[in-house]
A and B are shown apart, each in its own frame.
Chain A
Amino acid sequence: MKKLLILFLGILSIINVQTVLANDSTVVKTTLPVDDIKLPPGFKATIVAGKLGRARHLVVNTNGDIYVKLERLRNGKGIVRLRDTNGDGKADDSMYFGNYVGTGITIKNGYLYASSNSEVFRYKLNEKNEVANPDAPEKIITGLVDQRTHNSKSIVLDNDGNIYVNIGAPTNACQVQDRTKGSPGQEPCPILEKAGGIWQFKADGKNQSYGEGVRFATGLRNVVGLDWNGQTNSLFVMQHGRDQLSNLYPEMFNDQQSAELPAEEMFELKKGADCGWPYCYYDQQQNKKVLAPEYGGDGKQVGRCEGVTKPVVAFPGHLAPNGLLFYTGSLFPEKYKNGAFIAFHGSWNRAPLPQKGFFVAFVPFKDGKPSGEWEIFADNFAGMENISSPGQAEYRPCGLSQGPDGALYVSEDAKGTIWKITYKP
């Protein structure tokens, strides 16, 4: 009988039965056990929820409710509220609302704010600290550039009634023909009028668009992770640096250089800042902004990049920082207080070299400035080493939020998993 079974399985594998067994393949594929997320001693990660689909940013309310913004509708909705009603650490109650996909979600002064890829809405929280009218949000911002590429609209508020929205540039390097060898950079880059920067709007405005907003900072190719630093009272953002240096300029860059360059940059933004894209990029090996090859650069020349805003931290190329959070809780050891956590989605543009990222990093801060080297905090979301293509990654970290008890929450958008990271000495 056993032989017959083996024969049967053999036949199954010879004939292409993918279509028949497609549904079963998910069962066979083992999911990464929770302890496989590697953390420093004393920290523990537990899965709060899973299989939410493309879970982008998340925010935890003061009552512990978790709101997750989805980039793919689920039950026809783009926001899910998760709740743990019996206190076992797992969400056991969910409520879906909002009929739009998107990335940004945050809570401030009694309102929940959420973004589609071209608009921002807000929902009043009632006396029970719940969304009062899930089906009737106020539309506060509308008509922002959405050309698919880099269309996530991440959002954060300051303490003076302003909301900041990233509007990513819909190209790689503002070439006349995007991502095309030999195509020069447009001069000036017309994209910067309506994208490639951070815009500031009134948090309580209605239907604001470019006319009502302020271009707060420019020269930012694409920001997904951003946070307001309460210590410095300023905006910090993470830029995704440009792609394909060796592909587009093989005579100047080899694959090794192209995998490491340019840096993924953390900026502290003052109003009016110009971070240099598309004319400049940051070379973390030379510690300077250099002229992009599309604008006559050769990998060394500085030229017009002399005065542009420099990063406060530079990370290796293409790791894709999608979430930024300044930690203000007291649950974690003193070292983490006021420091920055960054969720890296993981690279695709390091090919043909192995991909990297798929972790949550930490940068210690003192008096509003980085006070040490960045380090990996939570690792192994990919579930494997030597990952050659991002599709192989089990999980891809995307959003960060701090719970009322000081726990760190992480969302990821490959499967839609939410972790809670706690600490016990």
Chain B
Amino acid sequence: MKKNVLPVIMFLFLAPVILHAQTKKPISPKPKAAPVSKAVMDRGKEVYLMNCLACHQADGSGVPNLNPHLVKTKWVLGSKTVLVEQILKGSQGKVEIDGETFNNAMPPLPQLTDQQIADVLTYVRNSFSNKASVVSAGEVKSIRAKIK
């Protein structure tokens, strides 16, 4: 009896997972992002340490109720335009993740160069168990131009 039941239970467990995995469209437009070069990751990390780490923490886990985490959020993995604008314009009280909001303000960081923003966002999108396509300086440049 027992022997027969276990595989059935397993199937019942796995079926929704498999179906879910098949139907769910990955948020990232390009799921098979090319591996990011170490040089870009190193540069991005440096920008992160100086400009983001205090609030979002070394492991991207954020601070409960104050600063959101950066792990697989729709901002990190989603539209590059929204993401770049988050860095250039900052925000307060706009982010909600799993019903939680955050009391601190994120300052706008327009003083970062297009290259620095591209590097740090590529780093974030490929750290803290995130996987998403690179952001290029050219993309940042055109998004910045539209804001002005």
Contact = CB atoms under 8 A, between A and B. Distances in A.
Which 8 pairs from chain A and chain B are nearest by CB?
A389-B57, A348-B63, A148-B103, A389-B61, A180-B107, A391-B61, A179-B107, A8-B10
A106 interface: no
Contacts of B62: 389, 391
B54 A178 contact: no
Given A20-B17, A20-B20, A391-B61, A151 B103 contact: yes
A244 interface: yes
Interface string A126-153: 0000000000000000000000111100
B16 interface: yes
Nearest to A148: B103
Which of B17, B50, B61, B93 counts the most chain A CB atoms within 10 A?
B17
Interface in A379-396: 388-392, 396
A11 interface: yes
Interface residues of A, number: 38
B21 A148 contact: no
Contacts of B67: 348
Nearest to A248: B54
A390 B64 contact: yes
B65 interface: yes
B58 A388 contact: yes
Interface in A4-22: 4-5, 8, 11-12, 15-17, 19-20
Interface string A46-86: 00000000100000000000000001000000000000000
B16 A15 contact: no
Nearest to A414: B64
Contacts of B66: 348
A250 B54 CA distance: 13
A5 B53 contact: no
A250 B50 contact: yes
B37 interface: no
Interface in B38-73: 49-51, 53-55, 57-59, 61-67, 69
Given A148-B104, A150-B103, 5 more contacts: A4-B6, A15-B21, A151-B103, A348-B55, A352-B49
